[in-house]
Amino acid sequence: MFERCNDKQRHLVKHQHHKPRHANVDSRFFGRKFTTSPSLERGLKASTIVGAAVFVIGLFIAPERAWPNALLAALYLLSISLAATAFLALLYVTNAGWASAIKRVPEALASTLPFGAFLMLLVLIGTPHLYEWSHSDVVAQDALLQRKTFWLNVPFFVLRSVIYLGLWVFFARKIVGNSQLVDRDGGDALREWKRKKTASAIFLVVFALTFTLASMDWIMSLQPHWYSTIFGIYNFAGMFLNGLAVITVLVILMKRWGPFEHILHGEHLHSLGKLIFAFSTFWMYIWFSQYLLIWYANIPEEVTYFVYREEGSWLVFTVVNVLFNWVIPFVALLPAWTKRHEGFLLRVCIIVMIGHWIDLFWMIMPPFMPNVPSVGIWELFPMLGVASAFIALTFRALARQNLVPLHDPFLSESLPLQT
């Protein structure tokens, strides 16, 4: 079941707290630095500029496609940072030890949250293009929308969005915050850890409430007649699944590119793989719960949501969505070896990442493309552009520090057991 610490590990533990000085930390954990190559940075910059340019052109040529895609791209990136923050918060509140060695990766993703928040604020400029309830003439002819104006009105909507984003950025800072400082001067790691644990617990409560409302505001109100109480949980499931996939991909890349060599081992991959497996199944569970209940009751207001998404080529998206987010990860990650196999896990994660994009597309686009879904230049280029910027920012955050958290109180539990 478990083993006693060997001398080396005990040595680490002993010196972590009594003398929080670098001198006592195993020298193998120093110099775990990640550096981006200039050519990669140039490529990302170029791709960002091209994406932004296409988006700006799209605003004039095809605003009905540019804005929904901007919303999709902003939500996709925001959700990665948010999932990483929630992942860290869960690690803190559950006293999880297994992930300490790799926690710099979710921290880097979480520290990129302001970028996603900024994108989301930009998207709010497009409110009139996105939300039919923002047009007073539409509302005037719609009795149901009139009853919703207490919630669905532009000033309150913008105010709420700013509050959600502000709270998330604030808590992400609290949770990631001084983590690097502890490494640098050896500060009081234990006290810092406890402070982060408290922040994490409060964040999880705030996050549950704000995320539910945010997903209803930003996505559900695109079809303002429709409502589903499970919607926030559905979005959380997809978001967290994708976040885990991104974390896993980055962790594997950090091993392949050097900093996590001899740090990342099968146990980490196995645990991440199990979480991806579990959340993929959780996503399917929530998807199915929503579908079954709406199908079964067959109430016109509700069922139109799925009618839209089952007609014509949209059915293809519905099927691919389920395939990428659940069927493939579920079957692929069922055996133990696939979860521990770096290359295999990497491929599954990429499928999940594409799957989450499809999931958001499937939720956001039908009102804008009622008959035929189309994926072309307006969909792909802006997404690639902001994704490149996001990658560049994440790489910068990763490069800022030693990638092994030297004084994490659980570090010794997370290191390779047989070196």
Partner 1 sequence: MAHVACSPLRKQLILGNKSYADVTHDVADLLDQKPSALWYVGMFISVAMLALGVWATTYQLMTGIGTWGLNNTVGWAFDITNFVFWIGIGHAGTLISAILFLFKQKWRTSVNRSAEAMTIFAVICAGLFPIIHMGRPWLAFWVIPYPNLRGPLWVNFRSPLVWDMFAISTYFIISLTFWYVGLIPDLATLRDRTTSKIKKAFYSFFSLGWNGSNRTWSRYETVYMLLAGLATPLVVSVHTIVSWDFATSVIPGWHTTIFPPYFVAGAVFSGFAMVLTLMLIARKVMKLEEYITLHHIESMCKIIIATAGMVGLAYITEFFVALYSGNEFERFTFINRALGPYAWAYWTMVTCNLVVPQFFWSKKIRQNLTAVFVLVALINVGMWFERFVIIVTSLSRDYLPSSWAHYSPTCIEVATLIGSFGLFFTLFLLFVRYLPVISIGEVKGVLKYGRVATSPTETIHTPVRKEVAV
User: Where on the chain is the footprint of partner 1 (CB under 8 A)?
Assistant: 1-5, 9-10, 12-14, 16-17, 95, 97, 144-145, 147-148, 150-151, 190, 204-205, 208-209, 212-213, 216, 227-233, 274, 281, 285-286, 289-290, 292-294, 296-297, 299, 301, 409-410, 412-413, 417
In the complex, the smallest distance separating the C-beta of residue 104 from partner 1, rounded to whole angstroms, is: 18
In the structure encoding, which two tokens stand for residue 419, read together? 């070196």
Q: Which is nearer to partner 1, 66 or 363 (CB)?
A: 363
Burial of 178 (0-12, 13-18, 19+ CB in 10 A): middle
In the complex, the smallest distance separating the C-beta of residue 287 from partner 1, rounded to whole angstroms, is: 11
Q: How far apart are CA 342 and CA 211, in angstroms?
A: 32
In the complex, the smallest distance separating the C-beta of residue 94 from partner 1, rounded to whole angstroms, is: 8
Q: How far apart are CA 164 and CA 147, in angstroms?
A: 24
In the complex, the smallest distance separating the C-beta of residue 337 from partner 1, rounded to whole angstroms, is: 14
Q: Residue type at 151?
A: W
In the complex, the smallest distance separating the C-beta of residue 230 from partner 1, rounded to whole angstroms, is: 4
Q: Residue type at 397?
A: A
What is the phi/psi pair of residue 33, to 5°?
-105, 145
Q: Which is nearer to partner 1, 234 or 378 (CB)?
A: 234
Name the one residue in this structure whose structure tokens are 């993929």.
280
Q: Which is nearer to partner 1, 186 or 373 (CB)?
A: 186
Determine how many CB atoms are found less than 10 A away from the CB of residue 208: 14
CB contact at 8 A, 25 and 339: no
In the complex, the smallest distance separating the C-beta of residue 311 from partner 1, rounded to whole angstroms, is: 21
Q: How far apart are CA 282 and CA 61, in angstroms?
A: 40
Q: How far apart are CA 273 and CA 304, in angstroms?
A: 36
Q: Which is nearer to partner 1, 40 or 417 (CB)?
A: 417
383 contact partners, CB below 8 Å, separation of at least 6: 51, 69, 72, 73, 76, 357
In the complex, the smallest distance separating the C-beta of residue 288 from partner 1, rounded to whole angstroms, is: 9
Q: How many CA atoms lie within 13 A of 262 on its CB side?
A: 6
Q: Which is nearer to partner 1, 19 or 147 (CB)?
A: 147
Q: How far apart are CA 397 and CA 404, in angstroms?
A: 14
Q: Which is nearer to partner 1, 118 or 285 (CB)?
A: 285
Q: Which is nearer to partner 1, 205 or 372 (CB)?
A: 205
What is the phi/psi pair of residue 225, to 5°?
-80, -25
